Structure 1
């Protein structure tokens, strides 16, 4: 039987997290980074000083399948009860229920940190990610037209939110 578990990202798991992210940077519009990041740059994205925010690797049968981030939404005190959630899964592992389990898990972590709202910021053409968040109770709250450029095309960004 398949088991899904979560553990905090560490220096030991960082290289595999970077490998997953690099795939999305180089091959997709899921992220707007245009160049592969260094290990130090990736560490800044996934390891936080504040205990309020965290990144977890997602293990499927003890093998890293992806990672989920709970991070600061904006650097203003009024946003302290709002966090952004991001999920990246290894290619080939999407559409198998892992993302939904990651959302359930990170929502509980967000509640423990007294979060009130979770926001997901998604490239407008990333239909699988949009479906994932909609399926898990997030609703569209913003649509920014042509705000990013990647692979020579202008891209929309949509935001989804869930009050938890």
Structure 2
């Protein structure tokens, strides 16, 4: 599945994207509270994550690319490791800082949810470290609703952060 929008192409992630995907995620690790990882990854450390996403099934990974540069990615991952959770996924989207406000996250999520629409899935979940109004707006636009709030659940940069939990009905 490949989607084109002006010069931005949305396509399944490939091995060749690993370095750019890692650098994008490391930006959020080192400079923001958006993820609760605190130490940057090497591409080799992110290889199992990339390999866990196939071109089929419920666990997918799509990239937004423009002129060879990865602008962002969206993924659906296992929600929890226990077997009864197999009809649930956790979704996430990350965009390069200079790609915000261009609709890249929307294109990524649109492609992701179209790709998993025929899977045996019942719910999608997302966790949003607050504040993050752009992510809250994106998830709400895609039919997610807030279903919980973990207060002060993560400590990063010397302070505690809340995480809003969102869910979306899939089937």
Give TM-score scaled by structure 2 length: 0.87
User: Would you say 1:163 and 2:156 are equivalent positions?
Assistant: no
Q: Give 1:41 shift.
A: 2.0
Q: Determine the C-alpha separation between the residues in 2 that align with 1:31 and 1:14.
A: 18
Structure 1, unmatched stretches of 5+, are: none
* Bigger mean CA deviation after superposition, 145-154 or 73-82: 73-82
Are the equivalent residues in 1 in contact too, given 2:60–2:112 (CA < 8 A)? no
Report the counterpart of residue 104 of structure 2 in structure 1.
Answer: 98
Q: Deviations over 1:95-128 (max 9, x none)?
A: 2211111111111122232222111111021221
- CA distance in 1: counterparts of 2:69 and 2:47, whole angstroms: 20
Asked whether 1:42 is paired with 2:26, we answer no
CA contact (8 A) 2:130 2:162 kept: yes
Give the Cα separation in 2 of the matches to 1:125 and 1:45. 26
Q: Is the 8 A contact 1:5 1:62 kept in 2?
A: no
Hey, what's the Cα distance between the residues in 2 that align with 1:155 and 1:46? 28
Q: Is contact 1:9-1:47 (8 Å) kept? A: no
Segment of structure 1 superposing worse, 127-136 or 66-75 = 127-136
Moved more, 143-152 or 132-141: 132-141
Write the deviation string for residues 22-57 of structure 1: whole angstroms up to 9, x where unpaired: 111111011111111121222233330765312121
SS of 2:99's equivalent in the other structure is coil
For structure 2, which runs of at least 5 residues remain unmatched after alignment?
Answer: none
- Does the CA contact (< 8 Å) of 1:58 and 1:102 recur in 2? yes
Q: Which TM-score applies when normalising by structure 1?
A: 0.91
Q: Are the aligned partners of 1:124 and 1:157 in contact in 2 as well (CA < 8 Å)?
A: yes
CA distance in structure 1 between the partners assigned to 2:168 and 2:150 by the alignment: 18
Determine the C-alpha separation between the residues in 2 that align with 1:139 and 1:4: 28
User: How much does 1:62 deviate?
Assistant: 5.3
| Structure 1 Cα separation of the partners of residues 131 and 45 of structure 2 | 26
Shift of 1:80: 1.2
> 43, 58, 63: which is aligned to 1:57?
63
**Conserved 8 A contact 2:53-2:61:** no
Q: Give 1:83's aligned residue.
A: 89
For the Cα contact (< 8 Å) 2:149–2:165, is it kept in 1?
yes
